[in-house]
Structure 1
Amino acid sequence: MQERKAFNPKQLTSARIAKGMTMKELSEKSELSRQMISNYESGKTVPKADSLLKIISVLQYPRNFFLADIPELHTGATFFRSQSAATKRSRDMQKERLKYFYEVYRGLSTYVNFPKVCLPELLDKDIHEITEDDICQKAMELRTVWGIDSVSPIDNLVKLAERNGVIISEANMTDTKLDAVSRWIVDRPFIMLTDNNESSVRRRFNVAHELGHIILHNDVESIHDYSPQELKGMLEKQANQFASHFLLPSEAFVDSLLSTSIEYYKDLKKYWKVSIQAMIFKSYSLQLINEDQRLYLNKKISWNKWRTKEPYDDVLPVEKPSLMDAVYKMIVDNEVVSKSELNSSFHLPYDELEKMISKSIYDSSSTIDSKPKLILIK
């Protein structure tokens, strides 16, 4: 009787959405009626042990997940680094994982102090009033507060963001139309990256794009308040402009552009760690090349079949989040909590935890990454 009272119907809905399933799909795979699934999710009926076991077998979530209470994220806007073809289902899947991510962070933060958030003052303007000068200024302010000069390439953007209090993880889902999701939660920014096997330069631009949302769009309460044209033509464009100014400071980029040949852009990619296509667009926006030159270069990219895979994409290392792993190892290595107890407290499948934290959740040995400034809470 106690088990039935402890069942949380909202958790079933959450797990189903995170797996990208409709009620009908879950019904068919679990061999339970759709009406029964609906009753479970509405709280009208509590699943018996055998029915819950069937659901667990399909969704692959641990039993204690369905007895937990993971709150919804009610305040703040969620931003998606997505192409226009990204489906609502994909976005909903990522939103659920972002919610789980925050709960894992919250659990770890009871034992360890994460780095303080270090960002410039957030822009508090309506998106229709934001100018490119505003965007450029904020990008340069971020470089300043993060201790980067206005002329140098950024070495490892993910580690730099983590050292300055941005919490980043990878998500256990793949969707070529959805690269990342970001959101302020309480007093800290979170970025979750989709596992798309992306190149280093694409990941760096994705992270910089999400930092743009975090800093520029503090005035946005919900992306649903805007039309598709405003989302793509303003919100996404502004975040892209921020990423471009942040990764490629205009004056320094102009000084580095000694030639506009496709071969020179290829070499320049290794220096700035930004895609050839992004640099061509930057050159055009700065009027360093005209429309005919831009079209010619883009045709060369298509001719070389570089649209989806450019030169050096296999050479430049993809930057991986490491802060959550460092925190996790600190807790386990100092025997504050046992690994099994800590893992169980998250109520999540191991494949989700592995992506959010690392393979440390399995390994018996670990070493602490000393770069992030972490303090164990006594």
Structure 2
Amino acid sequence: MVTPSRIALARRRRGMTLAELSEAAGVSLQSLSNYETGRTTPRPGTLARLAATLDFPSAFFSSPDIDELPAEGISWRARSKTPPRVLEAARAAGGLAVQLHEWIEDRFRLPAPDVPTLSKPDPETAAEMVRRRWGLGSAPAPNMIHLLEAHGVRVFSLAPDYAEVDAFAVWQGPVPFVFLNTSKTGERSRFDAAHELGHLVMHGHDRQCTGPAAEKQANDFASAFLMPASSVLGHMPRSPHVDQILQAKTIWKVSAMALTYRLHDLGLLSDWQYRSACAELSKRGYRPAEPVGIRHETSQVLAKVFQGLRTTGVRPHHVAAQLAITVDELNKMLFGLTITAVEGGQSGPASTRGQHLNRV
């Protein structure tokens, strides 16, 4: 039995329109429409052509419906002119990650969600409240992915196909999810993680999580969360020059531009000094990139899961087969950890200390 919604999800995951899939697979447009709506079922030969074109195992299309992410509840951190098909492709990839999460949750006890929803406080206050709740005080934030995972946020990587999408977050029932683009610099990825945490905290399940106002709130939350006012004021002089900014950004592991914005926000840089610092940083290459940046942060939970699976003889290709996806599709969700953490027999780049997962 073919599951119609899976044909549509696989097509959207590849960023294809019905017309494009029709031409690539040699299937009529009307037939494809009927397959996706369930009016008719593709014959085995036709299904095989669709599977090959979409790069999914044939078994994928006969598995149960996937609980897809709600389109209206996603906070997109993406370029303003990002094509809808790219957003839909990223949402489809998120749906596959949720399927993986459910598979993992059936086998491991994951940290319970501990993300408050605070609709009334301003971003600065909300960031301070979350920091107090999580016992961070005014110290620089640790590894952001580890921190989110320790408080029950399920974090997955976005496939590199979607360079226009930096990150997105969504509540799926009581469980918060964050998806991060791994092609960004390590500093910008940390900011993206804090930005999406801001959406989860301030916009929750029922508030507008898109648009300029929501984006500014999430940006201000991220800035305050990563660079607490008391910490910045305690470390930085008034009117710091660019070399001092570049040296200090390593304290909070943020981009030079993000720290410059925070210094201006806290009154340590005047408007003129802020513009001058931004111009100088841009001239030195710090606007599009982060020369001599930090290493990318990766998932601790996923590394531990695949290490635990390895001890029982379960390899990534076994997991992929049970989910009816390719190993390449699986690896794109996992910050590339399946090779380093499992096949190489080592823990890979992610630290695995401080968090213990039990088998169910």
Is TM > 0.5 for Structure 1 vs Structure 2?
yes
Structure 2 counterpart SS, 1:356: coil
Aligned equivalent of 1:244: 223
Aligned residues with identical type, % of pairs:
27
The answer to whether structure 1 residue 282 and structure 2 residue 278 are counterparts is no
The offset of 1:283, in angstroms, is 1.6
Contact 2:123 2:217 in 1 (8 A): yes
**Letter of the structure 1 residue corresponding to residue 301 of structure 2:** L
Aligned equivalent of 1:179: 166
Contact 1:324 1:356 in 2 (8 A): no
- 1:249-308 CA distance string (max 9 Å, x none): 112112211252111111111121111111111122222222211221122123223210
**Letter of the structure 2 residue corresponding to residue 328 of structure 1:** F
The offset of 1:360, in angstroms, is 4.8
Q: 2:56 aligns with which of 61, 75, 78?
A: 61
Q: 2:327 aligns with which of 331, 347, 350?
A: 350
Aligned equivalent of 1:226: none
Structure 1 counterpart SS, 2:41: coil
The offset of 1:74, in angstroms, is 4.6
Q: 1:40 aligns with which of 35, 48, 55?
A: 35
| Distance across 2 between alignment mates of 1:365 and 1:339 | 12
Contact 2:306 2:342 in 1 (8 A): no
5+ long unaligned stretches in structure 2:
none
- 1:319-339 CA distance string (max 9 Å, x none): 01231231233234245x676
Contact 1:154 1:247 in 2 (8 A): yes
Contact 2:169 2:178 in 1 (8 A): yes
| Distance across 1 between alignment mates of 2:132 and 2:105 | 28
Aligned equivalent of 1:320: 298
Aligned equivalent of 2:358: 375
Aligned equivalent of 2:242: 262
Q: Given the superposition, is the C-alpha separation of residues 242 and 339 from structure 1 closer, same or farther in structure 2, using an over 3 Å criterion?
A: closer
Q: Given the superposition, is the C-alpha separation of residues 344 and 242 from structure 1 closer, same or farther in structure 2, using an over 3 Å criterion?
A: same
Structure 2 counterpart SS, 1:309: coil
Q: Given the superposition, is the C-alpha separation of residues 83 and 220 from structure 1 closer, same or farther in structure 2, using an over 3 Å criterion?
A: farther
5+ long unaligned stretches in structure 1:
1-5, 126-130, 224-230
Q: Given the superposition, is the C-alpha separation of residues 175 and 12 from structure 1 closer, same or farther in structure 2, using an over 3 Å criterion?
A: same
Contact 1:167 1:190 in 2 (8 A): yes
Q: 1:96 aligns with which of 88, 92, 104?
A: 92
**Letter of the structure 2 residue corresponding to residue 94 of structure 1:** A
Q: Given the superposition, is the C-alpha separation of residues 339 and 355 from structure 1 closer, same or farther in structure 2, using an over 3 Å criterion?
A: closer
**Aligned residues: CA RMSD:** 2.3
TM-score by length of 1: 0.86
The offset of 1:153, in angstroms, is 1.5
| Distance across 2 between alignment mates of 1:29 and 1:322 | 39
**Letter of the structure 2 residue corresponding to residue 346 of structure 1:** L
The offset of 1:149, in angstroms, is 2.0
| Distance across 1 between alignment mates of 2:344 and 2:223 | 40
Aligned length: 352
Where does 1:284-323 land on structure 2 (aligned, <5 Å)? 284-313=264-293, 316-323=294-301
**Letter of the structure 2 residue corresponding to residue 72 of structure 1:** E
| Distance across 2 between alignment mates of 1:282 and 1:135 | 13
The offset of 1:198, in angstroms, is 1.0
**Letter of the structure 1 residue corresponding to residue 58 of structure 2:** R
| Distance across 2 between alignment mates of 1:362 and 1:371 | 17
The answer to whether structure 1 residue 201 and structure 2 residue 179 are counterparts is no
Contact 1:115 1:373 in 2 (8 A): no
Q: 1:217 aligns with which of 193, 198, 203?
A: 203
TM-score by length of 2: 0.90
The answer to whether structure 1 residue 147 and structure 2 residue 143 are counterparts is no
The offset of 1:372, in angstroms, is 2.1
The offset of 1:365, in angstroms, is 6.4
